Amino acid sequence: MTARIVNIEGKELVILSRADFDALMEKAGVMPPLPRAAKDGSVPAIEFARADIAREVVRRRIAAGMTQQELARRVGVRPETISRLEAGKHLPRTETIERIDRALPALKTSKGN
Protein backbone atom coordinates (compact mmCIF):
# COMPACT_ATOMS: atom_id res chain seq x y z
CA MET A 1 0.00 0.00 0.00
CA THR A 2 1.31 3.40 -0.96
CA ALA A 3 0.05 6.44 0.87
CA ARG A 4 0.86 10.09 0.52
CA ILE A 5 0.43 12.57 3.35
CA VAL A 6 -0.47 16.19 2.58
CA ASN A 7 -1.36 19.17 4.74
CA ILE A 8 -4.40 21.16 3.74
CA GLU A 9 -5.70 24.00 5.89
CA GLY A 10 -3.68 22.74 8.85
CA LYS A 11 -5.04 19.20 8.59
CA GLU A 12 -2.88 16.20 7.80
CA LEU A 13 -4.63 14.11 5.14
CA VAL A 14 -3.71 10.73 3.69
CA ILE A 15 -4.10 10.05 -0.02
CA LEU A 16 -4.55 6.44 -1.13
CA SER A 17 -5.20 4.79 -4.46
CA ARG A 18 -8.80 3.68 -5.03
CA ALA A 19 -7.69 0.03 -4.79
CA ASP A 20 -5.94 0.59 -1.45
CA PHE A 21 -8.91 2.58 -0.12
CA ASP A 22 -11.33 -0.16 -1.19
CA ALA A 23 -9.15 -2.80 0.51
CA LEU A 24 -9.26 -0.81 3.75
CA MET A 25 -13.02 -0.41 3.43
CA GLU A 26 -13.34 -4.19 3.04
CA LYS A 27 -11.23 -4.79 6.15
CA ALA A 28 -13.36 -2.31 8.08
CA GLY A 29 -16.51 -4.16 7.00
CA VAL A 30 -17.90 -1.11 5.20
CA MET A 31 -17.66 -2.61 1.74
CA PRO A 32 -18.27 -6.26 0.83
CA PRO A 33 -15.39 -8.15 -0.78
CA LEU A 34 -15.67 -9.31 -4.37
CA PRO A 35 -15.96 -13.11 -4.61
CA ARG A 36 -12.75 -14.96 -5.41
CA ALA A 37 -12.37 -16.58 -8.80
CA ALA A 38 -12.49 -20.36 -9.06
CA LYS A 39 -9.50 -22.31 -10.38
CA ASP A 40 -10.88 -21.99 -13.91
CA GLY A 41 -11.09 -18.20 -13.53
CA SER A 42 -14.87 -18.04 -13.32
CA VAL A 43 -16.61 -15.92 -10.69
CA PRO A 44 -20.10 -16.60 -9.31
CA ALA A 45 -22.21 -14.10 -11.27
CA ILE A 46 -24.89 -13.36 -8.67
CA GLU A 47 -22.38 -12.96 -5.82
CA PHE A 48 -20.24 -10.71 -8.01
CA ALA A 49 -23.24 -8.58 -9.04
CA ARG A 50 -24.34 -8.14 -5.41
CA ALA A 51 -20.85 -7.10 -4.29
CA ASP A 52 -20.18 -4.88 -7.32
CA ILE A 53 -23.46 -2.97 -6.96
CA ALA A 54 -22.94 -2.67 -3.21
CA ARG A 55 -19.42 -1.29 -3.61
CA GLU A 56 -20.55 1.31 -6.16
CA VAL A 57 -23.40 2.49 -3.94
CA VAL A 58 -21.06 2.75 -0.92
CA ARG A 59 -18.48 4.72 -2.93
CA ARG A 60 -21.02 7.13 -4.34
CA ARG A 61 -22.91 7.58 -1.07
CA ILE A 62 -19.70 8.36 0.85
CA ALA A 63 -18.51 10.72 -1.89
CA ALA A 64 -21.85 12.54 -1.67
CA GLY A 65 -21.47 12.84 2.11
CA MET A 66 -24.72 10.96 2.78
CA THR A 67 -25.59 8.50 5.50
CA GLN A 68 -27.49 5.32 4.71
CA GLN A 69 -30.54 6.90 6.35
CA GLU A 70 -30.31 9.99 4.14
CA LEU A 71 -29.96 7.90 1.00
CA ALA A 72 -32.90 5.72 2.04
CA ARG A 73 -35.05 8.83 2.58
CA ARG A 74 -34.12 10.25 -0.84
CA VAL A 75 -34.74 6.93 -2.58
CA GLY A 76 -37.98 6.20 -0.72
CA VAL A 77 -36.92 2.91 0.87
CA ARG A 78 -36.30 1.77 4.43
CA PRO A 79 -32.77 2.25 5.82
CA GLU A 80 -32.59 -1.54 6.24
CA THR A 81 -32.91 -1.89 2.47
CA ILE A 82 -29.84 0.31 1.89
CA SER A 83 -27.95 -1.51 4.65
CA ARG A 84 -28.65 -4.95 3.11
CA LEU A 85 -27.82 -3.68 -0.37
CA GLU A 86 -24.49 -2.16 0.79
CA ALA A 87 -23.61 -5.37 2.62
CA GLY A 88 -24.08 -7.28 -0.64
CA LYS A 89 -26.83 -9.41 0.91
CA HIS A 90 -29.35 -8.98 -1.88
CA LEU A 91 -29.84 -7.62 -5.36
CA PRO A 92 -32.25 -4.70 -5.43
CA ARG A 93 -35.03 -4.41 -7.97
CA THR A 94 -34.19 -2.48 -11.14
CA GLU A 95 -36.52 0.33 -10.06
CA THR A 96 -34.62 0.70 -6.76
CA ILE A 97 -31.27 0.80 -8.56
CA GLU A 98 -32.60 3.50 -10.89
CA ARG A 99 -33.83 5.60 -7.93
CA ILE A 100 -30.48 5.21 -6.16
CA ASP A 101 -28.72 6.21 -9.37
CA ARG A 102 -30.81 9.39 -9.57
CA ALA A 103 -30.22 10.19 -5.87
CA LEU A 104 -26.43 9.84 -5.99
CA PRO A 105 -24.11 11.94 -8.15
CA ALA A 106 -21.88 10.01 -10.52
CA LEU A 107 -18.28 9.58 -9.43
CA LYS A 108 -15.66 11.37 -11.45
CA THR A 109 -12.75 9.16 -12.39
CA SER A 110 -9.20 9.97 -13.31
CA LYS A 111 -9.97 8.68 -16.80
CA GLY A 112 -12.10 11.75 -17.45
CA ASN A 113 -15.45 9.96 -17.24
Q: Is the pLDDT of residue 110 over 80?
A: no
Task: Spell out the domain ranges in the chain.
Answer: 1-30, 34-108
3-state secondary structure the chain: CCEEEEEECCEEEEEECHHHHHHHHHHCCCCCCCCCCCCCCCCCHHHHHHHHHHHHHHHHHHHCCCCHHHHHHHHCCCHHHHHHHHCCCCCCCHHHHHHHHHHCCCCCCCCCC
User: What is the assigned CATH class of domain 34-108?
Assistant: mainly alpha
| pLDDT classification of 48: cutoffs 50, 70, 90 | very high
pTM value surpassing 0.85: no
For residue 113, the model assigns a pLDDT of: 41
What is the overall mean pLDDT for the chain?
A: 90
